[in-house]
A and B are shown apart, each in its own frame.
Chain A
Amino acid sequence: MNNAAFFIMCFVIAGSTGTLGQSQQYKLGRPATPEEIRELDISVAPDGAGLPKGSGTVTQGRHDYQILCANCHGDRGQGVTPYPALVGGRGTLRSKNPVRTVGSYWPYATTVWDYVHRTMPYPRPGSLTPDETYAVTAFILYLNRIVDEKAELNEATLPRVKMPNRDGFVGDPRPDVRTKN
């Protein structure tokens, strides 16, 4: 590599480390108001950032689940083909037939809340209130023996739920495959 190419490479690397250098302002786009942001921002982080205030119990969730979820996921979360099971699979991840469910595989309880809130029930995505979402999430976690029957989940307790496979993820080591030639 000649000097010029080396300097270009350094420049490219320096430019891609996540900081913005001098940037041109085009004065396009309008400021987003706090109301506009609140209306659209539904994201939930593993540490609970973004969770709305609300709560739901296993008992309430059992009721809501039977109305909203059981038709596709079965009355005990066993799944009704082609819709996935929500329970089971603990201890199968290194077997020949791993069963990846919320209980056996998903690393964060906040992900369950976020996914239910965004996408469920399947024909009417996004129609659940925060309280319904906390309740259904509580019942699904109860079915997986992750929370007990008396549990109530809210924006403070949900991020503290430790999922069984929380430590089951590793970074991407690729390129990982050795080729002969």
Chain B
Amino acid sequence: MKKRGLTRRSFLTTASATLGAAAIPSASSQELGAPRRAYGERSPFEKSARFFPESITPASSYSRTPLQDLFGIITPSALHYEVHHSGVPEIDPRSHEVMIHGLVEQPLIFTMEDLHRLPSISRIHFLECAGNSGGEQIGRPAINPQRSHGLLSCSEWTGVPLRILLEQAGLKPGAIWVVAEGADAGRMARSIPLEKALDDVLVAYGQNGEALRPEQGYPVRLIVPGWEGNTNIKWLRRVQVVDQPYMTAYETGHYTDLMPDGTARQFTFVMEAKSVITRPAGDQRLSGTGFYEITGLAWSGRGRITKAEVSTDGGKSWQDAQLNEPILPKALTRFRLPWRWDGKETSLQSRCTDETGYLQPTREELVAVRGLNATDHYNGIKIWYVHTEGSVSRE
């Protein structure tokens, strides 16, 4: 750093001369802070990070969001969960294009500049992997919110409604599905009903006010509000309008839920209403009896959350938690409930209701219907256990 003409000592001398004796700084006066920087970084004291296990195929894997460390409903882009099957591609937006073709009057190719020029909207939506908290279903509860529910994040997404791109190309008769495909090495592809594509799907280039992060699909991705994460195709390069679902590997061999009778469900798109307490929660410690605010997240792929309830007595009674504004459809909703811990062993759990009247089930209620062979689309109630010495754990 280049030294400035005005040194600290001379500044102090000048300041004290100006302000008089009453303002003379003490010997423990403040140090000047760090200079400006072009792109912000968090405080060095903050260590919260995504979690991922070591794997021999790091390019086809996942990382989890530290839900227990977050406030409010927005996930910082740097902590957004990720799942990808062929690694994160590095794409130059100047050469990236999105093609709309298939059963359309005029196949079209849009550059990133075209997309930025078209009418855009911003929406806050959660993304959740279909497999999020699947271990809970099969009786392997995870140790903390990140490990149990961390394939979940929420961002403000900005982009062009897919409907507008389809309108520019014009639909032909027989169009009832679209196939969306990424520009990743494995060219991830999913079939999506045209009805959804015309409803609220976004061709998004913005995430929390800046360009998408590479792990989230830079420079452009689909946002399919409320639907399983895998349908939200990243690094979008192509949308093909078609007359049938194309039965790609990730809508047949994967993300189909195997039922006890041996049949499998397809297509299980919507992520149903679900909630989790993030504080106090597993891996945390209560430092003594007295006041704590219980807080957590609730969300539904079918719309808004209308109620979040918390039980601090093993599910015998439920109290309405306060829902923090904003309460948005297909977005995370923050809930809070004041609580006094009396030092006794107990458990903490939450459940939520969405605007369709759907109530989040217990694990037992869900397993009674779906069995233990399906682990995708699980949305059972999560229980944290408080022990007398203050530790909170999964059992």
Contacts and interface: CB of A to CB of B under 8 A. Distances in A.
Interface string A11-55: 000011111100111101111100011001111111101000000
Interface stretch (A57-65, A98-106, A139-147): A98-106
Given A30-B109, A31-B107, A94-B262, A169 B373 contact: no
B291 interface: no
Interface string A99-141: 0101001111011001100110010011000000000000000
B252 A125 contact: no
B109 A36 contact: yes
Interface in B241-271: 242, 244, 246-249, 252-253, 256, 258-270
Contacts of B238: 40-41
B168 A29 contact: yes
B361 A42 contact: no
A177 B361 contact: yes
Contacts of B237: 40
Contacts of A24: 167
A108 B252 contact: yes
A91 B362 CA distance: 31
Contact of B270 (A100, A165, A174, A178): A174
B313 interface: no
Interface residues of B, number: 79
Given A16-B199, A37-B107, A42-B187, A105 B253 contact: yes
Contact of B358 (A106, A175, A181): A175
B298 interface: no
A42 B165 CA distance: 21
B244 A174 contact: no
B246 A43 contact: yes
A170 interface: yes
Given A36-B99, A42-B187, A169 B256 contact: yes
A179 interface: yes
A180 interface: yes
Contact of A32 (B101, B185, B247): B101
Nearest to B108: A29
B262 A172 contact: no
Contacts of B240: 41, 43
B286 to A, nearest CB: 28
B195 A17 contact: yes
Nearest to B362: A179
Nearest to B163: A20
A31 B114 CA distance: 13
B252 A118 contact: no
Nearest to A167: B263
A176 B269 CA distance: 14
Interface in B283-318: 318
A20 B167 contact: yes
A94 B260 contact: yes
A31 to B, nearest CB: 6
B214 to A, nearest CB: 18
Given A102-B253, A119-B85, A179 B361 contact: yes
B264 A170 contact: yes
Contact of B253 (A15, A25, A111): A111
B109 A29 contact: yes
A126 B108 contact: no
B278 to A, nearest CB: 23
B57 interface: yes
Contacts of B373: 93, 96, 98
A44 B246 contact: yes
B118 to A, nearest CB: 6
Contacts of A119: 85-86, 185-187, 249
A125 B186 contact: yes
Contacts of B328: none
A165 B108 CA distance: 38
B253 A106 contact: yes
B166 interface: yes
B345 interface: no
Given A16-B195, A173-B265, A181-B359, A45 B246 contact: yes
Contacts of B117: 26, 28
Nearest to B116: A28
B108 A172 contact: no
Interface string B113-124: 010011100000
Nearest to B238: A40
Contacts of B189: 43, 118
Contacts of A31: 106-109
17 contacts: A18-B194, A24-B167, A29-B169, A32-B100, A32-B108, A44-B246, A45-B247, A93-B262, A96-B373, A100-B258, A108-B247, A168-B263, A169-B256, A171-B265, A175-B358, A179-B359, A179-B365
Lowest 5 CB-CB distances: which A-B pairs, in order?
A: A94-B262, A23-B167, A32-B107, A29-B108, A115-B249
